[in-house]
Structure 1
Amino acid sequence: MLHRLLEIEVEARKWWEDEGVFLSESRKYPPKPGEKFFATFPFPYMNGYLRIGHAFSLSKADFASAYHRLRGANVLLPFGFHCTGMTNKASADKLSREIQQFGNPHGEDVEGGCEFWWRVAVEDLRAYGLGCDWRRSFVTTDVNPFFDAFVRWQTRKLKSMGKIVKDLRYTIFSPFDGQPCADHDRASGEGVQPQEYTLIKMEVAVKPLPLKLGPSEGKRVFLAAATLRPETMYGQTNAWVLPDGRYGAYEISETDVFIVTERAALNLAYQNFSKTPQKKPSCLVELTGCDLIGLPLRSPLAAKEIIYALPMLTVLANKGTGIVNSVPSDAPDDYMALQDLISKPDVRAKYGVKDEWYLAEAKRLTYLKGFTEGTMLIGEFAIGLEAFQEIKPIIKTKLVESGEAILYREPEKPNLMGRKLTASRFCKAISTNKPVVFLPLMQRYLLN
């Protein structure tokens, strides 16, 4: 029975082909409402076999086309093959690397991979029985001069209508590949957006600089802390560093040096906060968190003229800059860490922490309640008792305009890199565990 069903399937496909059932021709008179139907399908990448997911989604367009064809409508269902873009290039590069490493058992040239998969896809779609007018199939390169000309015409037309604009946009960028790393180019992290921080510049308030910071002598040196709550900086009691964390003193300009993690310095460099913008950041000296403990700091908006860098074992090196502002009045973690330091003399002795470096009377308030219901009690915005959530953008702007802070962006999920490889989607930088950054790029947009 199964054998006979397969025979009928083959006979039906041959009849469809011989009779031109799926061909769509222009007609003498313009169609009336309901007399034509057009369907299309997102072009699949040509770097591997089509999957069952393609068939599932395509079936909707195919079944709708078949229904309207039975109604007597003039139906056009073309099909395109995506043969450009970083996904296809990365797949070809991966194949090339594997052939170099393991050899090619078939002894064939790897060039023309897209063309190979394109022809395999056509065979599979014919076997599926797709009701496509194959005269209208195309690939997204100048191999098909008609489609290439259409895209050029479409772009010029939209531009002449004022529908295409060009503007700066922060995008995930691969220094390793030298190009943006879009959603479908990543092994992981699809949909990750930029997280904007206010980078608070806490200046090292001692001259001459400690011996470890000697290479930075003559420059302004800052511990740069990333915060989402710049309006709480009035309550700073100290800064936190990871004792075993790896930091560096990176040249931001001819006069300024930021102490941050290497990952943050690379992000800053690609956001043009570096003496060497969009290149490897210039590191004057490598440091550990222990080298920073006890540094006196002048921090914007802080009620105390001098605060100090203290050890905290839970600081994340893969998020922000590895330097954290401590505001116990608004952050339970800060309050508990400070109380922990106060109650453990052995920990203070281990890191050489002195009593005058911390504020013992810090009060505990919950973070969210402070933001939604809290009001300003100190500083220039305390007059009207403005709510934190209303004053936050004003304080952020004030800090940036005064040069006491900068706006900094990084992926909202810290571990974007991964070693996962799939057949159809990966950014080479991510798949080889190379860092990615956020970079402001001029990009084109379509307007509604």
Structure 2
Amino acid sequence: MEHFTLDIRSACRSFAVGYQRLKGKQCLFPFGLHCTGMPIKACADKLKREMELYGNPPQFPEEEEEEEEQKKITDEVIIKDKSKGKKSKAVAKSGSAKFQWDIMKSLGLRDDEIVKFAEAEHWLEYFPPLAVEDLKKMGLKVADWRRSFITTDVNPFYDSFVRWQYITLKERKKIKYTIYSPKDGQPCMDHDRQTGEGVGPQEYTLIKMKIVEPYPAKLRLTPSSFFQDILGCALSAPLTSYKTIYALPMLTIKEDKGTGVVTSVPSDAPDDIAALRDIKKKQALREKYGIQDYMVLPFEPVPIIEIPGYGNLSAPLVCDELKIQSQNDREKLAEAKEKVYLKGFYEGVRQSVNTNITSGHFMKYACIRSTLAWLQEHACSRSYGLGTRLPWDEQWLIESLSDSTIYMAYYTVAHLLQGGVLNGQGPSPLGIRAEQMTREVWDYIFFKTTPFPKTDIPKEKLQKLRREFEFWYPVDVRVSGKDLVPNHLSYYLYNHVAMWPSDSGKWPKAVRANGHLLLNSEKMSKSTGNFLTLSQAIAKFSADGMRLALADAGDTVEDANFVEAMADAGILRLFTWVEWVKEMIANQNNLRTGPADTFNDRVFISEMNSSIIKTEQHFERMMYKEALKSGFFEFQAAKDKYRELAIEGMHRDLVFQFIENQTLLLAPICPHLCEHTWSLLGKSSSIMKARWPTAGPVDEILIRSSQYLMDTAHDLRLRLKAYTQPAKAKQRPTPPAKPTHCTIYVAKTYPPWQHSALSLLGKHYKSNNGALPDNKVIAMELGAMPELKKYMKRVMPFVAMIKDNLEKNGPRVLDLELEFDECAVLLENIVYLTNSLELDQIDVVFASEADDKVKEDCCPGKPFCVFRSEPGVLVSLVNPQPANGLFSTRIDIRQGDSKDSIIRRLSRVNRGIKDLSKVKLMRFEDPLLGPRRIPVLGKEEEGKMPISNSSVFHINLQENKVHMSDNGLKMDIGDTLLYLVQ
């Protein structure tokens, strides 16, 4: 069963392989299953113990008496490695289950099946095939499942490979002794522990103190035997204001830890001040240990650290607050330490430094040094668990982080040795037996200068294995979790260098680290119910829905956040996309053809090309959230904008170019759906054999002019809303009528005062290599200009706005004129603007033709608008067609209206009209009697005349009448018109 948290790594690798294949590269993405270590063996042994204690099947007690063990609280502060989680994996994975048997039952296993898991080997037979099955459902782009394998000595080929690696490392003097645990009889590093991960070594600082006269009579080697002799000893210590100090007793010192002698810091350590006060107050205690009064009574704590709220003697202050009487007040002392140590660590100040650094970027070299220093202490073996035996001492096993450092080399030949059998115990495709894989044979395969060994394996077979390795190696990129950077990934790099010291061409090229996976912004944990397995995620969201949400979960080493609502929304987006593709294919003959050269056609082409380039850059950098943003969300937004703006209709060639490009851009992330879409387009071969789309030229100015259009449309809507729904302070007794017309004023140049300010900013920008001076300097220079004196209250806010836009949009904001003709852009999209604002007419004029107020408020890129309402005469529009859902209504006819303007106005009232080109507008031959006649079914046009495109309507407001002129003829239309929808 695959844990969902691990699959962001699998997804990242799968996205990379999918993209690189579209780029025409040969990609190998094998997948192995690592079974080495203690957890499997520990779980199997736990099952055995439970059956021994409680029977088979076990009859567990209702309540397990575990409280005493849980109440064991250690008094000392445990230093933890902050790169590790504080909560153990065991708790997170097992949830609230206390027994291993219950954990297995929670996986859906029967009692008779659970019994088999008491043998560790059964875990290796049962779970790996299930993991492979889930990964295949996910759509993992593993090109060759024959290369998959499990580790440990159960797999004889991999076992031989790891033994070869460690024999080689030992001969090269890369193996040494390490830390040993007397209690466990073995080294025990992080990944070997079922619980207690994250606990690191505690750092000790050795301080040399000179013994001064009178010298002690004798000295012994062990602290347990000589502490009585050294008590009361006079010492000269560094970094203290006292010339002589004395060794004093402290009840909490552990004699078996370090030297048994520690320095005392009573100013900041509650235990130390409690011990000092005890020995000062209690003469009997001094006599017991032979301490004279002069050795302790004159001494007071020396201030060291200033802690906000506690001062520079925090320990005495907190001990007084909590009323701690002696060293035996353990609970109060623990509370005091928690207060003092936490606040002192984060907020304590020892000595202020004089800083002379004003800016710069810094690398945490200390992190690198500490990691490298820690690596040399890591043990490569232990005595318990599963794995490969150490070749020169088989009582030891090679531990889990050490047998998986160069396994990528084994991938290159695994299929020829194992033939797809995970445990390597099937027939070998090359007919090679595991015992034939001697050290010399492995040397020949992986070290290209090694001569052919003495072996009964035919030379051509070994040459085939060597060619496979030489073809695929080195590793181009490895993806793993950020928690493995200071350990496993570092071993990975060092081991490659150690195995191929003179062949840097075999060293790894790149490593991508990713964060952990959160589920709905919280850590995954069975105990809280916030947990999801891979198979559950696929069943719930589909493979592509899950992959889409994984890609959107986040990039870099920050923890990714898999949001179920996003996965649900993603499924809806993908479904909508496929349905739209089907709709376009079914209606392709109704799409526009001919030259694709309108303003919106050209914008759409440039936006597609721009998105292709951006998405390619993101995939190259393995930034999949950004790739999804530019290659799907923004790509779809460009299509939606094109569909909205293209009043003349979308162009067929561009629509299908978009569909093909979108399918290719999304294929690395959602391969199943894209394969389906690819087949809908009639492609004969798989999308896996397709190529990444080639981007054409990008007209950035054209794209910015389109953005200007969208910004202007948005601004006009806001102004229209403010006009029709004024704020309470500006409300009139009667609400304003809905406007019918709008005049947009466009400025070719900035107002004089803005022009002067921009000129000055542009001058500074060029002379200062792209930097602007402080506002004080700019204000002084602008204030010295006579023409700006009356505008000074407006000038500096304008400068602030320009400086802000400069950071966002670059130096073009300092241009005195726009890089495109905004009047032409507005006129070319005037129908869209008119329809979008539901107006009858919009006029675009230059601000130079307007009054002074408009000139002051209008500048390039920021048009000014004025709304107004034109009077009209109400006329009835009747639809005589039966059973079509359309209705009769009344609309205003205005001076100069045309057939098209009336139909547009009608469509705003009657939303059932979707295609304006199918609307036919008619008038009665007899405007007086025609409306009174009863219509005849099937003869809806009888007695009516069509209104032509050249017709113009005229109104008489005094008489409330409308007439129409066409080709010099004047016709009265009465009070009714008709419309039919074909």
More relative contact order, 1 or 2 (CA 8 Å, 6+ apart): 1
TM-score (normalizing by structure 1)? 0.43
Which has the larger Rg?
Answer: 2
* Structure (1/2) with the larger strand percentage: 1
TM-score (normalizing by structure 2)? 0.21
* Structure (1/2) with the larger helix percentage: 2
